[in-house]
Amino acid sequence: MERAAEEKLGDRLVADWVSGAHLRFASDEARGKYQARAQLIIDTIRLEDTGRIPVIPAATQKFAFDYGPVTFREAMTEFDKVFDAYVRQYEDTDFDAYVGPEFIYPAGMFEALRWNRVRLPGVHLPDDKSFQFVEAEYMKAEEYDEYLDDPSDWILRKYLPRLSPELEPLGQLPPLRNTVTFFQGLTDLVVAAAENPGLVEAVKALQASGRAVQEWFDYLGRIDQELGGRLALPHLLGPMAHAPFDIISNYYRGWRGAIVDMFSRPEKMIALMERLLPWQLQYGIDGARALGQPIVTLYLYKGADGFMSDEQYEQLYWPTLKKLILGLVDEGLLVWLFTQGKYDSRLHHFKEIPAGTCLIHLESATDAGLAKEVLAGSQCIEGNVPSSLLATASVGEVEAYCVELAERCGKGGGFMMDFSAFLDEAKRENVKKMIEVARAYRGGGGTGRA
Amino acid sequence: MSQALTDAILGMRMDEAVTLAKRMRDGGADPLAIIAHGSEAMEEIGRRFAAGEAFLPELIMGGEIMKAVTSEVMPGGTGSAETDSRGTVVIGTVHGDIHDIGKDIVALMLGIEGYAVHDLGIDVPVEDFVAAVKEHDADIVALSGLLTLAFDAMRSTVDGIAADGLRDKVKIMVGGAPVDESVRAYTGADGWGNDVGHAVRLAGEWTGGGA
């Protein structure tokens, strides 16, 4: 529901973000350039016809590391080295915004907990391979009711112990809901603690993991200052939330488990998604407020074409996702929807969201021309340049692809140039050509502001 | 009752399918015949999938139901039955990549289509592919990967198969979401696909039976 005249959180965050209120600029020139870029991005999301195509990076991994060079292992452990690699990457390219190493988590965070949902370079994989997540069944089919009844209890005593052997002692605690007073519950809790020396080690592991994350946060802050304050690049990737269906299928039940549930207990799935919805919404809002970032990102996983039928999408995937997006938009926030895989048949749903509030990332499998057609006047689209093309094709081939893409999607605004997926193997000259094509674009009716 | 079993599988009703299968076995039906009924239902799901009338959830759920039915009526497994296959496929996710959804779907679908499928799993070293091609006398090798970093691993796997003198003996397909013709050319494979339909068509063309 639209709120009255009061200023929305998102409006204030947009103003702060565009002004670069959180940055110390190296010069007035850097400030001016930053503000022009940030404004261009906001205007493009809001579907103003700027006559320009901003060019943004979905995320770079090995492509950035090669500027060091650093290995994947070093990127997760030696932050000073990878800091330099990202800075050099952005000095050498001419993007309108940056996405940094927000997904290159610190190895120490996982290692301290022996987190079993991840395979790490230097531990399970060679140093030059990307870390990867393992999708497995961490929640049993019969645990829906337990979760619905007391989610935090399930997370503390079931989920975390399954994810980390270091946290198994948490599973031996009694349910905290019975802790009422000293003669009810507290005695159970303290006796369980006394009988469980592993708890001390579990807390130590949490703290060690936390120290790795603190160090990493500090490094992300330094990157933001350097790339924002000196290189004048607005930061695109900030607060995040998840589609409730993806939480179940990616993190709790795994894809197989989720599929069995789609047929065997859809009502439980829906109940759980409805339970998750307000928490995800609040998480996105709180994150935006904490980071001073008006764009909330949702990576979308299992809703792609072919992953389920339209009917299943409309029954199970879209309803809570839509409510989540609408909730964020109602706060004045903008939503970056990072579709993965082919999304042709789902695009029309984004028209159900107020116009000019979403940025829809397209992988190369999605027909960008179709997306433009379906979403023109409704939502901004970005992406689609195949990572494989950037890795293997000639500069001329990249130019031809990007020129055609710009012509098909740039007209009237509402389009940003970007590659399809995380960039690993790509020729620098190809990435530069992609940027050059976007930079050279001049559509009709520009505002000339940027 | 066999029709009821087929209906339960096509209707995605796992508990009912398992109960029916158990009742058929308890009534003296041959476990292999029960599984054959289930396989017919799976073929129908495969047909619907190929025709765009069913989707991944039906395909995977069908596979899960068949697993449950098989373990109910033949707890010891069905053993190996490759004699009547349309061809032998060795499939796996290449080294350095641990993604398995796409690979699993292709393996499942090729199995439904009548191929003998040997799934080597994820993060498969080159030498394991080479050994499996020899051991199973494979006709087709299917290399899967989701990461662009997998392109090099696909290429080194193709090279490894060639270095062992097996290149002319097998057809090699590369597949995964980021895979296209440029990746096929880069890796030296014979064909490529980025969905399960591609893989099935290629296998059909290569084994002379069509898709």
Is A119 contained in some domain? Answer: yes
Interface of B with A in 56-95 (CB under 8 A): 56-57, 60-61, 64
Least confident range from A236-250, A386-400, A436-450: namely: A436-450
What ipTM is given for this predicted complex? 0.86
Contact A386 B151 (CB under 8 A): no
The DSSP secondary structure of A153-178, one letter per residue, reads HHIIIIIHHHH-GGGGGGGGSPPGGG
Alpha helix positions (H), A292-394: 310-312, 318-330, 368-375, 387-392
Which of A119, A364, A387 shows the shortest C-beta gap to B98? A119
pLDDT in tens, A276-329: 999 999 999 999 999 999 999 999 999 999 889 999 999 999 999 999 999 999
Which of B15, B57, B183 shows the shortest C-beta gap to A388? B183
Is A338 contained in some domain? Answer: yes
Residue B55 has pLDDT above 60, yes or no: yes
Is A91 contained in some domain? Answer: no
Which of A259, A365, A425 shows the shortest C-beta gap to B149? A425
Residues A417 and A297 in one domain: yes
Is A93 contained in some domain? Answer: no
Residues A15 and A40 in one domain: yes
pLDDT value, residue A331: 98
Contact A259 B186 (CB under 8 A): no
Mutation site, B98, B148, B194, interface A, largest A CB count within 10 A: B148
Q: Rounded mean pLDDT of A156-181?
A: 95
pLDDT value, residue B82: 46
User: What is the percent of chain B where pLDDT is above 90?
Assistant: 53
Q: How far is A332 from chain B (nearest CA, A)?
A: 34
pLDDT value, residue A135: 85
pLDDT value, residue B146: 83
Residues A214 and A263 in one domain: no
Contact A256 B13 (CB under 8 A): no
CATH of the domain at A53: 3.20.20.210
Contacts of A388 in chain B (CB under 8 A): 148, 151, 178-180, 182-183
Residues A283 and A382 in one domain: yes
Contacts of A125 in chain B (CB under 8 A): 96, 123
Please return the burial class of A355, using the count of CB atoms within 10 Å of its CB with bins 0-12, 13-18 and 19+. middle
Of all residues in chain B, the one with the smallest CA distance to A426 is B148
Interface of B with A in 91-130 (CB under 8 A): 96-99, 101, 123
Residues A274 and A418 in one domain: yes
Contact A259 B56 (CB under 8 A): yes
Of all residues in chain A, the one with the smallest CA distance to B181 is A388
Q: Are A301 and A250 in contact (CB under 8 A)?
A: yes
pLDDT in tens, A92-115: 999 999 999 999 999 999 999 999
Residue A449 has pLDDT above 50, yes or no: no
pLDDT in tens, A178-207: 999 988 899 999 999 999 999 999 999 999
Of all residues in chain A, the one with the smallest CA distance to B196 is A306
Q: Are B93 and B122 in contact (CB under 8 A)?
A: yes
Of all residues in chain B, the one with the smallest CA distance to A265 is B13
pLDDT value, residue A119: 92
pLDDT value, residue B187: 94
Q: Which domain covers residue A220, as residue numbers? A: 75-83+101-232
pLDDT value, residue A445: 47
A240-241 β-sheet, strand order: A240-241, A295-300, A334-339, A358-362, A380-383, A415-416
How confident is residue B43, by pLDDT bands cut at 50, 70 and 90?
confident
Q: Rounded mean pLDDT of B187-199?
A: 90
Residues A35 and A158 in one domain: no
The DSSP secondary structure of A55-123, one letter per residue, reads B--S-BSHHHHTTTT--HHHHTT-HHHHHHHHHHHHHHS--SSB--STTS--HHHHHHHT-TTEE-BTT
Q: Are A90 and A435 in contact (CB under 8 A)?
A: no
How confident is residue B79, by pLDDT bands cut at 50, 70 and 90?
low
pLDDT in tens, A374-404: 999 999 999 999 998 999 999 999 999 999 9
Contact B177 A341 (CB under 8 A): yes
Of all residues in chain A, the one with the smallest CA distance to B16 is A264
Domain count, chain A: 2
- State residue A241 phi and psi, 5-degree precision: -145, 170
**Residue A178: CB partners within 8 Å, gap ≥ 6?**
A184, A185, A188
How confident is residue B158, by pLDDT bands cut at 50, 70 and 90?
very high
Q: How far is A259 from chain B (nearest CA, A)?
A: 6
Count of residues in chain B:
211
Of all residues in chain A, the one with the smallest CA distance to B97 is A132
pLDDT value, residue A11: 96
pLDDT in tens, A73-97: 999 999 999 999 999 999 999 999 9
Neighbours of B164 (CB within 10 A): 16
Contact B60 A263 (CB under 8 A): no
- The pTM assigned to this predicted structure is 0.89
Please say which residue of A202, A232, A262 terminates a domain. Answer: A232
Of all residues in chain A, the one with the smallest CA distance to B182 is A392
Is A68 contained in some domain? Answer: no
**Residue A19: CB partners within 8 Å, gap ≥ 6?**
A35
pLDDT in tens, A329-356: 999 999 999 999 899 999 999 999 999 9
**Residue A289: CB partners within 8 Å, gap ≥ 6?**
A9, A13
In 3D space, the residue among A174, A151, A152, A154 whose CA is nearest the CA of residue A162 turns out to be A154
Residues A111 and A200 in one domain: yes
Please say which residue of A200, A232, A264 terminates a domain. Answer: A232
Contacts of A421 in chain B (CB under 8 A): 148, 178
Backbone conformation region of residue A133, classed left if phi is above 0, alpha if psi is from -120 to 50, else beta? beta
pLDDT value, residue B210: 56
pLDDT value, residue A243: 98
pLDDT value, residue A448: 43
Is A424 contained in some domain? Answer: yes
What is the C-alpha radius of gyration for chain A, rounded to an integer number of angstroms? 23
Q: Rounded mean pLDDT of B170-175?
A: 96
Contacts of B180 in chain A (CB under 8 A): 364, 386, 388-389
Is A65 contained in some domain? Answer: no
Q: Which residues of A touch B (CB under 8 A)?
A: 62, 119, 125-126, 129-130, 132, 134-135, 255-256, 259-260, 262-264, 306-309, 312, 340-341, 363-365, 386-389, 391-393, 420-426
Neighbours of A232 (CB within 10 A): 25
- Between A and B, how many CB-CB pairs are < 8 A? 95
The encoded tokens of residue A187 equal 């005695």
In order of start, what are the domains of chain B with their CATH numbers? Answer: 2-73 (1.10.1240.10), 88-206 (3.40.50.280)
Contact A263 B56 (CB under 8 A): no
Residues A258 and A178 in one domain: no
Residue A173 has pLDDT above 70, yes or no: yes
Residue B198 has pLDDT above 90, yes or no: no
Residue B103 has pLDDT above 50, yes or no: yes
The encoded tokens of residue A160 equal 């975390």
Contact B61 A129 (CB under 8 A): no
Give CA–CA dist B201/B106, Å, rounded: 11
Distances in whole angstroms, Cα of residue A296 to Cα of each of A34, A119, A238, A263, B163: 20, 27, 6, 32, 50
Q: How far is B142 from chain A (nearest CA, A)?
A: 19
The encoded tokens of residue A379 equal 């939502």
pLDDT value, residue A444: 58
Is A421 contained in some domain? Answer: yes
Residues A115 and A199 in one domain: yes
Q: How far is B188 from chain A (nearest CA, A)?
A: 13
Contact A256 B55 (CB under 8 A): no
Please say which residue of A198, A232, A266 terminates a domain. Answer: A232
Residues A222 and A284 in one domain: no
Give CA–CA dist A297/A284, Å, rounded: 8
Give CA–CA dist A174/B80, Å, rounded: 48
Q: Are A71 and A65 in contact (CB under 8 A)?
A: yes
Contact A421 B185 (CB under 8 A): no
Backbone conformation region of residue A297, classed left if phi is above 0, alpha if psi is from -120 to 50, else beta? beta
Residues A148 and A184 in one domain: yes
pLDDT value, residue B113: 83
pLDDT value, residue B209: 64
How confident is residue A421, by pLDDT bands cut at 50, 70 and 90?
confident
- State residue A389 phi and psi, 5-degree precision: -65, -45
Residues A140 and A187 in one domain: yes
Q: Rounded mean pLDDT of A16-28?
A: 97
